[in-house]
Amino acid sequence: MAKMYRVYSIIERPKQDDYWLNIGVAFAHEDGEGFNVILQALPLHGNGKVVLRSYDPQKHEAEEADKQATAKKGRAKETA
């Protein structure tokens, strides 16, 4: 399986961490000399900078599960 990358547009937010907005995917060419980039949105803000980061679906699923568990704990505290 070819290595997959996520494409992010970085949104700068004053007094907060920057927000990494997922706007597509990229796949390396078999010869290693380039990428196919598939965008689902265009970076229309800021300087138009995009970032490619390697993507491991299994690792991503585990991270998302951790985020959801943390969010549930936060909501439970708010209602208590």
- Tell me the per-residue pLDDT of 42-74, one tens digit each, with 9 for 90 and over: 877 777 778 888 888 777 666 666 666 766 676
Q: Residue 9 burial by CB count (10 A; 0-12/13-18/19+): exposed, middle or buried?
A: buried
Predicted pLDDT of residue 32: 85
pLDDT exceeds cutoff 60 at 29: yes
Global model pTM greater than 0.85:
no
pLDDT exceeds cutoff 80 at 9: yes
Average pLDDT, the chain: 81
**CA 35, CA 22: separation in Å to the nearest integer?**
17
Predicted pLDDT of residue 26: 93
Nearest partner of 22 among 11, 37, 35, 6, judged by Cα: 6
Nearest partner of 11 among 54, 38, 47, judged by Cα: 47
